[in-house]
Structure 1
Amino acid sequence: MHIGFMIAPWESLTPTKNSTILVIRECLKRGHKVSILYPENLTVRNNVAYGGLMRIEEMEKIPENIVQFHKKVTFKPVLTPLHSLDSLMIRKDPPIDPVIFNFLDSIKNECVIMNDVDGIRKANNKLFTSTFNDPSNSYLPITHVSKDKEFIRKAIKEMPGDKVILKPLVGSGGHGVIVLEKNAQSNISSILDFYISGTGNENYVIIQEYIEGAEQGDVRVLMLNGKFLGAYNRKPPEGDIRANIQIGGTAHKYKMTDSQMAVCRKIGPRLAADGLYFVGVDMIGDKILEVNVLNPGGISNINKLDKVKLHLNVVDFIEEKVNEKHEKRAELEFLLKRLNDLRSDDY
């Protein structure tokens, strides 16, 4: 199989923390051809989508040490039609240019794209959870999204509790997430000015119910094909509410509660139906804060904490989806050939 990965620059990845490198190494160990693709290297030639792929050259021995593996990998640039890939795993932090999806539309029926292009379109930002049906807020916190400052002020006032969470609609890694004290009205006005129009554009912001216990961190849940894969607790650094590992959060072993597992079972079929096969769900208690569909991390931390190898499950799934697609294609080709043979017999 030829498996591609759309990622940030290889040299920018931290091998001890990056989930994608583990998956790539496992693909190579199984004898698959592996290439990486940077979004800026997409092109179209005579109506065919191409990628300036960086193909990983064959290694005499694949290092078990992930740092050594990352250091020793060498690449060969090859301009390649994207439909020649058996699978493409999108592992790029948001926001992602929607034009990229237009390049991939031409191959989505020929190549296993993970996550699915149309699924990512639906879930490319933090609005995705609003499509879940939870009117009683049993597993979703009270959440408002707007760029109307008056509406936001009113929403903050009506939110239960003394605090609210404010964050940009588009972003990752905990950037821009703050806790607002509801009684600090003068600060709220200036903060809204910055968040909504501080960059020269009118930007949407999220106002979300503050969940008690948030100061103790959250739970990153990984799901594969709509089923629970693994989880760990992310605790924030001293003096911060954000538990994201990229900004200093720490990883801790965690056992999911029965009610948390019930929430995962509730949303799992919907994720799988939308082609959102590898997903990170952030939870506090039984409430879902976000669903991360572009580049969810956590495999390295869960592997270390739980003594497992979740990257093997991910590669198993990729292989299964590719084989399934190949079998369906072969079956269709057989049926078309049989139909043509019958037509020939009629003549």
Structure 2
Amino acid sequence: MTTLKAAILMDPISAIKPAKDTTFAMLLAAQARGHQCWVFSLPDLFLRDGKVWARLREVTVRDESNDYVTLAAVEERPLAEMDVVLMRKDPPVDLEYLTACYLLEHAGTWVVNNPVSLRNANEKLYALHFPELLPPLLVSRDLGDLRAFLAEHGEAVVKPLSARGGEGVFYLHQQDRNVGSILETVTGWGQHYVMAQRYIPAIREGDKRILLVDGQAVPGAMLRVPSEKDFRGNLVAGATAVAAELTERDQEICAALGPALRAAGLLFVGLDVIGGYVTEINVTSPTGAREIRRFFGVDAAELLWQRLERGQ
């Protein structure tokens, strides 16, 4: 087995929830396989004299709830000294995130997921390359267009294009007298594009998270069942995670998407599937590895490191 030096760009590790954090799972798996890991955050990344550098801290992790990490002293090093850099910064995909992707494009080493593809693959819009997998939807900033879409379908979900965790997502129906106010809010009075999707009643059964490593589906999935007080299948919005098998339709979806994801250098991807439709393709920092391992004993993080050990 090849021993790797890996740098992980993530939100501050001191603020994560280890039991649910997929990046933490990646660190645990890397450590178990003998790899040497450093962590850093956006403020630690910079370019000087044509080289991309970072203020790195070597990390030791423990699978505990509280005393779960030890960080060494800061080292200022060029990223080219690493065998691989994992880009695991959470959304929003704002200007700072995009700037980091521009810098990582010049890291001089392998970056996973590919920073060019991260810029291109908006998590709401990338799925438009696969229209046969999608529910009826509309992308617009025009209030009249959005009202017409709602009138056509009776129920719809509207969501911003760069948020995460169900932030700013609304369920709409024609009898709701708040529709005008909601559409004005989410579009900023027509200044921002949003996506409207036909409401899929199967969301009451759950929003399925499927993980793919190098274009291959990880066996087993996580179904996020909304709470009785919410329609969103997001764990941070109160949904409950339960085990879910991959259906024949799920396998068809993964087979259709896998080759394109692999070709784009998107090695670790999370699909959101509701009622047999793809609703999002998550490429920035998809989660679910901890839950899927708990349900099925399959470690997506370990599968990722097995792939990274084979090299580019």
Q: TM-score range by the shorter chain?
A: over 0.9
Matched residue type, 2:83:
D
Please give the residue correspondences for 1:8-23 in structure 2 after superposition, counting only pairs within 5 Å: 8-23=11-26
Q: CA deviation at 1:225?
A: 0.7
* 8 Å CA contact retained: 1:164, 1:182: no
- Structure 2: distance between partners of 1:146 and 1:254: 34
Out of 275, 298, 301, the position equivalent to 1:308 is 298
RMSD of aligned Cα (Å) = 1.7
Matched, 1:147 2:133: no
Out of 29, 34, 37, the position equivalent to 1:31 is 34
- Structure 1: distance between partners of 2:31 and 2:73: 15
**How high is the sequence identity, in percent, across the aligned residues?**
29
Matched, 1:77 2:74: yes
Q: List per-residue Cα deviations over 1:232-283 (Å, max 9, x = no partner).
A: 1111122111121122211111112112211111111111111111000000
Matched, 1:6 2:6: no
Q: CA deviation at 1:31?
A: 2.5
Q: CA deviation at 1:308?
A: 2.7
SS of the equivalent of 1:67 reads: coil
Q: CA deviation at 1:26?
A: 2.1
Q: List per-residue Cα deviations over 1:295-328 (Å, max 9, x = no partner).
A: 110011011111233322111111112xxx4xxx
Q: CA deviation at 1:147?
A: 1.0
Matched, 1:103 2:134: no
SS of the equivalent of 1:174 reads: coil
Please give the residue correspondences for 1:1-347 in structure 2 after superposition, counting only pairs within 5 Å: 1-56=4-59, 63=62, 65-67=63-65, 70-71=68-69, 73-96=70-93, 97-107=97-107, 110-134=108-132, 139-159=133-153, 162-184=154-176, 186-197=177-188, 202-229=191-218, 230-321=220-311, 325=312
After superposition, the Cα gap between the structure-2 partners of 1:141 and 1:133, relative to the gap in structure 1 and judged at 3 Å, is closer
Q: CA deviation at 1:32?
A: 1.8
SS of the equivalent of 1:50 reads: strand
Counting matched residue pairs gives 305
* 8 Å CA contact retained: 2:230, 2:237: no
- Structure 2: distance between partners of 1:48 and 1:128: 30
* 8 Å CA contact retained: 2:157, 2:170: yes
* 8 Å CA contact retained: 1:140, 1:287: yes
SS of the equivalent of 1:49 reads: strand
After superposition, the Cα gap between the structure-2 partners of 1:176 and 1:22, relative to the gap in structure 1 and judged at 3 Å, is same
- Structure 2: distance between partners of 1:146 and 1:80: 44
* 8 Å CA contact retained: 1:19, 1:298: yes
Q: CA deviation at 1:170?
A: 1.2
5+ residue gaps, structure 1, are 326-347
* 8 Å CA contact retained: 1:21, 1:70: no
* 8 Å CA contact retained: 1:217, 1:241: no
Q: List per-residue Cα deviations over 1:149-186 (Å, max 9, x = no partner).
A: 12211222223xx31111111111111112101233x4
Q: List per-residue Cα deviations over 1:106-139 (Å, max 9, x = no partner).
A: 12xx4221111121111133111112242xxxx2
- Structure 1: distance between partners of 2:65 and 2:186: 39
After superposition, the Cα gap between the structure-2 partners of 1:68 and 1:191, relative to the gap in structure 1 and judged at 3 Å, is closer
Q: CA deviation at 1:194?
A: 1.0
Normalised to the residue count of structure 1, the TM-score between the two structures is: 0.83
Q: CA deviation at 1:68?
A: 5.9
Q: Which is greater in Rg? A: 1
- Structure 1: distance between partners of 2:184 and 2:197: 18
Higher helix share: 1
Q: CA deviation at 1:38?
A: 0.5
- Structure 1: distance between partners of 2:277 and 2:131: 13
After superposition, the Cα gap between the structure-2 partners of 1:311 and 1:105, relative to the gap in structure 1 and judged at 3 Å, is closer
Normalised to the residue count of structure 2, the TM-score between the two structures is: 0.92
* 8 Å CA contact retained: 2:123, 2:280: no
SS of the equivalent of 1:191 reads: helix
Q: List per-residue Cα deviations over 1:73-132 (Å, max 9, x = no partner).
A: 22221111111111111111112321111111112xx42211111211111331111122
- Structure 2: distance between partners of 1:241 and 1:133: 24
Matched residue type, 1:101:
C
